Amino acid sequence: MDDREREVLRFVVDLHVETARPVGSGRVVERAGLDVSPATIRGVMGRMEEKGLLRQPHTSAGRVPTDRGYRLYVEELMEPVSLDRKEQEELLFGVERLANRPDQLPGSISALLANVSGLAGFASPPRIDRGIFLSLHADLVRDGRVAMVLVLDSGLARSAVCPAEEGIDRENLAAGVEELNRRFRGRAVEEIRDFLFGPEWEEHLPALRVMRVFRKAAEELLETGRLSRIILSGVESLLLEPEFQNSRELARLTERIEGGGGLPDPKTESLPERGVALRIGAENEDEELHPFSVLAAEYRFGRFTGTMGMIGPTRMRYGRSAAIVAFARRIVEQRIAPAAGA
């Protein structure tokens, strides 16, 4: 783009974000204080439409940015945004109230992001691959199944209930659990997972029924699903956006995100805001997410990592949204992670 096109794109994005309406050439001239005619700006906007940066939703209407136009704006034109004092205090006080239990943390983070941003917030539990096995506890429950609780370092605990093997009573259950604790205490979750689901696991574990029960429970205890159980908050607020009057789009969004799919990788897709990833519209791999933009960042809880972020329309205030995610991630790690032994 030449300098005039860059200037026009900046004002089209800013005006469309504010108004949710197509932006006409006269409005750009007025807002930017340009010493040119609207006809000149219409010509510039026409060239930008040919380049795929703007589109005209209706004949004789103004233009709106395309996904490509938003991407160029974010990477080259967007000014750095600092949160104001009120927003920072809201996040700081919100983090102070966050649950420091790992199983409750995702819901707290996602709700906080949604409340501050007015968009949808999401968070995943800390992933436990690097967690260290401390102890396993088990008991028979009323319907003949086995309840197991796995305790990891940094206070993380996982639980699962699965069918018991025939002939298991409390005595041999206790003996089997004692053997499992002896074998796995001090070993990393990813190492145990590889061992249990490797091709030769039966050759290296004693032929105890409890071992087979633990292997069944391990699919949940050791998170073989990895990206499941993402918590999504504030989706209903998106109904206030003109783009999302059809609630079916939001239902598909909820199903896809909570199922663990569609999130950008914070390690490979970063904005200038350190560690914040962004996918805009059709940049999302899943078609259900094409109407949305998704920001994500990795957060640390002790030795573990999870993902947090926000979802909104492509007509998003990207600078502010990225600043909210980056600031929230930083204070979560400063206030919550130390309590987990980071």
User: Residue 112: which CATH number?
Assistant: 3.30.450.40
Q: Are residues 233 and 298 in the same domain?
A: yes
Q: Is the domain of 99 the same as that of 7? A: no
What is residue 171's predicted lDDT score, i.e. its pLDDT? 87
Backbone torsions φ then ψ of 236, nearest 5 degrees: -60, -25
Q: Looking at the DSSP assignment, which residues form a beta bridge with residue 55?
A: 64
Residues 184 and 216 in one domain: yes
The domain boundary, picked from 157, 189, 221, lies at 221
The DSSP output letter for 126 is: P
Contact 227, 262 (CB under 8 A): no
Residues 28 and 72 in one domain: yes
In this structure, are 310 and 258 located in the same domain? yes
- Tell me which DSSP letter residue 244 carries: G
- Residues 254 and 209 placed together within one structural domain of the fold: no
Shared-domain flag, residues 206 and 164: yes
- What is the pLDDT, as a whole number, of residue 32? 83
For the chain, the domain total comes to 3
Distance CA 316, CA 281 (A): 11
Burial class of residue 130, CB neighbours in 10 A (0-12, 13-18, 19+) = middle
Are 77 and 9 contacting, i.e. CB atoms less than 8 angstroms apart?
yes
316: helix, coil or strand?
coil
Predicted pLDDT at 216 = 85
Residue where a domain stops, chosen among 174, 199, 221 = 221
Do both 233 and 123 map to the same domain? Answer: yes
Looking at residue 150, what is its pLDDT? 92
Query: Which residue's entry shows tokens 């938003």?
Result: 70
Domain span including residue 209: 133-221
Q: Which of 99, 102, 9, 104 is nearest to 51 (CA)?
A: 9
For the domain that residue 148 is a member of, what is the CATH number? Answer: 3.30.390.10
Residues 103 and 233 in one domain: yes
Reduced to 3 states (helix: H, G, I; strand: E, B; else coil), residue 255 is helix
Which residue in the block uniquely carries the two structure tokens 């010493």?
A: 35
State which of 221, 237, 269 marks the end of a domain: 221
- For the entire predicted model, the pTM comes to 0.77
Contact 290, 342 (CB under 8 A): no
Burial class of 93 by CB neighbour count within 10 A (0 to 12, 13 to 18, 19+): exposed
If asked whether residues 321 and 276 sit together in one domain, one would say yes
Residue 80: name the closest of 334, 274, 328, 278 by CA.
274
> What's the pLDDT score for residue 291?
92
Q: One digit per residue, pLDDT tens: the chain, 342 residues? A: 899 999 999 999 999 999 999 999 999 999 888 889 999 999 999 999 999 999 998 877 799 999 999 999 999 999 888 899 999 999 988 887 776 666 677 888 999 999 999 999 999 877 777 788 999 999 988 777 889 999 988 667 888 888 877 778 888 889 889 989 998 999 998 889 888 888 777 776 666 778 888 888 888 888 765 545 788 999 999 988 988 877 788 888 888 887 767 777 777 777 766 689 999 999 998 888 899 999 999 888 777 788 899 999 999 999 999 999 999 998 888 876 555 444
- 111 and 216 inside one domain: no
Same domain, 53 and 196: no
Q: How far apart are CA 185 and CA 180, in angstroms?
A: 8
